[in-house]
Amino acid sequence: MIAIIQEYWQALLFWDGFRLSGLVITLWLLAASIAIGFVCAIPLAVARVSANRWLARPVWLFTYVVRGTPLYVQLLLIYTGMYSLDFVRSHGMLDSFFRSGMNCAVLAFALNTCAYTTEIFAGAIRATTYGEVEAARAFGLSKWTQYRQIILPSALRRAIPAYSNEVILMLHATTVAFTATVADILKVARDINAATYESFQAFGLAALLYLVLSFTLVWMFRQAERRWMAFLRPLEH
């Protein structure tokens, strides 16, 4: 184990020549996909709970399809499937985009987490108490202002516990990025295993890194819950 760490710790944790380390690549995959998915999920969640079926149905179909298919298959469709289409290869921008394994991995992860996050946020919006909405209407707030100042801030706070689980699951899901030849933590661990045949040490070190990242994310979300969900805690006498 010590020999493995001494020889490959830079490839896993820091810089490896001119390449980013497996840890940096994993964190970038997670941060980029979560950021894109979060931003896209907010308007999609609003459309999901809309009474307008022309808005709600397409979003429902998107989340149904994405949540009903494995992430691994989605990544294969985007990484190898899209590039097999003639119009993708003949278009300069599309060709360069889908030629990159990193781009394909981020797109697949972002679409996947966007679907789950949309349903999480939609459920939190539905759980908004009727009194909050009625109070906003009584003040004469427009529908846009109600969502911007009342409904969404309240819903996003309530969604923190469920959303934290989604982020951690997304961290674990990044392990399939090696399919797109992305040198994340697991890909580096596989390279270590191929070079040394020390499977337990190589994958054990990768598991340890994922464990540390998971507990760090849990701690960060617990701090967020204490700060932004304090109003839900019962009053102490």
Domain housing 45: 2-232
> Which residue, 192, 196, 197, 167, is CA-closest to 178?
192
Q: How many domains are contained in the chain?
A: 1
CA distance 172 to 187: 13
Is there a domain that residue 51 lies in? yes
Per-residue pLDDT of the chain (237 residues; tens, 9 = 90+): 555 555 666 666 665 554 567 788 899 999 999 999 999 999 999 999 988 899 999 999 999 999 999 999 999 999 888 878 777 777 778 878 888 889 899 999 999 999 999 999 999 998 887 777 777 777 777 777 788 788 888 888 889 989 999 999 999 999 898 887 787 888 888 887 887 777 887 888 888 889 999 999 999 999 888 887 665 555 554
Output DSSP code: residue 150. Answer: I
Is there a domain that residue 170 lies in? yes
Residue 224 one-letter amino acid: A
Place of tokens 């009584």: 138
Is there a domain that residue 193 lies in? yes
Residue 75 one-letter amino acid: L
- Give the domain CATH number at 8: 1.10.3720.10
Output DSSP code: residue 21. Answer: P
Is there a domain that residue 237 lies in? no
Query: Across-strand partners of 16?
Result: 19
CA distances from 17 to 24, 72, 100, 113 (A): 14, 30, 21, 32
